[in-house]
């Protein structure tokens, strides 16, 4: 089986890497905070001291990083060590421009494959994977992580992920404000929440009150910032302003939604 290098062991990366290890792939892992690799090493993975060391012998490289800046830093670090013929699956949410810049590495096949779903689906292998580029030689790897939807040329998966995330994150802010309106009008909160849950906004309501999943508000701010740089999006810009006002490092987006509901003027 292919030797896989997995770079980025955050809330999403760690359970995804664990599924590849359980499938029998030789796995080398790297994370900026090295201690996060320890549970996977205990299960049979090899920890690398640097991104370059991680990819040196890899057939497939997977990156699951926080944003475009982190991806660019890792790309520069691994460029001398990437072997011709390596397949690079970029699964972070970084926008299409950051993905297309990876096409500069000669002899390396790049696929962008950002995911839909949170930590629960990452652990279960039921993520939705939006894959841009030629996926033919890596779909069997992606199949351990979820269901692949081919989106078009390189960068199209990253572009569609921004569209989806902008709608979901904005929808959660709308739900929060709708419940704030319900409170201002003297309605029972649970009754209003149930009505919204049975409306076309039901998915956003479920995400706003989800437990056991994780999506940091810093990531929400990052995603909306990328989206509003790509097009004029007044609603997304308003949501971005809201999240920036209530976000703190390590705060889940559902907590931020509660703060929008209770604190904004």
Task: Yes or no: say if 87 and 62 are a contact pair by the CB < 8 Å rule.
Answer: no
> What CATH number does the domain located at 159-263 have?
1.10.1040.10
What class does CATH assign to 4-153?
Answer: alpha beta
191 by Cβ neighbours in 10 Å (0-12 / 13-18 / 19+) ranks as exposed
**Confidence at 212, pLDDT banded by 50, 70, 90:** low
- pLDDT on residue 167: 96
> Which region among 111-120, 163-172, 184-193, 250-259 has the lowest average model confidence (pLDDT)?
250-259
- pLDDT on residue 218: 86
- pLDDT on residue 265: 43
Q: Does residue 182 surpass a pLDDT of 60?
A: yes
**Token duo for residue 153:** 């040329």
- pLDDT on residue 95: 97
Q: Mean per-residue pLDDT for 163-172? A: 95
Q: Does residue 123 surpass a pLDDT of 70?
A: yes
Please report, for the chain, the start and end positions of each structural domain, with discontinuous segments joined by +.
Answer: 4-153, 159-263
Angle at 253 between CA 171 and CA 261, to 5 degrees: 65
Rg over alpha carbons for the chain, rounded to the nearest Å, is: 19
Q: Mean per-residue pLDDT for 190-216? A: 89
Catalytic residue list: 161
Q: Does residue 32 surpass a pLDDT of 90?
A: yes
- pLDDT on residue 31: 98
Q: Give the mean pLDDT of the chain.
A: 93
Task: Provide the Cα torsion 87, 18, 67, 219; round to 10°.
Answer: 150
User: What is the distance between the alpha carbons of residues 180 and 222, in angstroms, rounded to a whole number?
Assistant: 25
pLDDT by residue (tens digit) across 94-122? 999 999 999 999 899 999 999 999 899 99
């Amino acid at each position: 089986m292919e030797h896989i290098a997995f770079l980025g062991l955050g809330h999403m990366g760690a359970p995804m890497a664990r599924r590849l290890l359980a499938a029998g792939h030789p796995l080398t892992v790297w994370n900026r905070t090295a201690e996060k690799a320890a549970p996977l090493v205990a299960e049979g993975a090899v920890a690398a001291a640097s991104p370059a060391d991680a990819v040196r012998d890899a057939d497939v490289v997977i990156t699951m990083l926080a944003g475009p800046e982190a991806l660019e830093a890792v790309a520069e670090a691994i460029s001398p060590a990437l072997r011709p013929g390596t397949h690079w699956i970029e699964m972070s949410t970084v926008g299409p421009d950051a993905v297309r810049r990876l096409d500069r590495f000669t002899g390396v096949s790049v696929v962008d494959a950002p995911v839909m779903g949170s930590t629960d689906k990452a652990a279960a292998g039921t993520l939705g994977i939006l894959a841009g580029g030629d996926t033919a030689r890596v779909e069997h790897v992606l199949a351990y992580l979820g269901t692949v939807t081919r989106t078009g040329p390189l960068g199209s998966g990253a572009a569609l992920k921004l569209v989806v995330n902008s709608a979901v994150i904005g929808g959660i802010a709308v739900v929060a404000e709708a419940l704030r309106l319900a409170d201002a009008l003297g309605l029972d909160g649970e009754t209003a929440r149930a009505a919204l849950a049975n409306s076309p906004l039901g998915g956003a309501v479920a995400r706003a009150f989800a437990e056991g999943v994780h999506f940091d508000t810093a990531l929400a701010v990052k995603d909306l910032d990328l989206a509003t740089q790509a097009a004029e999006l007044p609603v997304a810009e308003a949501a971005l302003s809201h999240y920036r006002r209530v976000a703190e490092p390590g705060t889940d987006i559902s907590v931020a939604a509660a703060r929008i509901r209770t604190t904004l003027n």
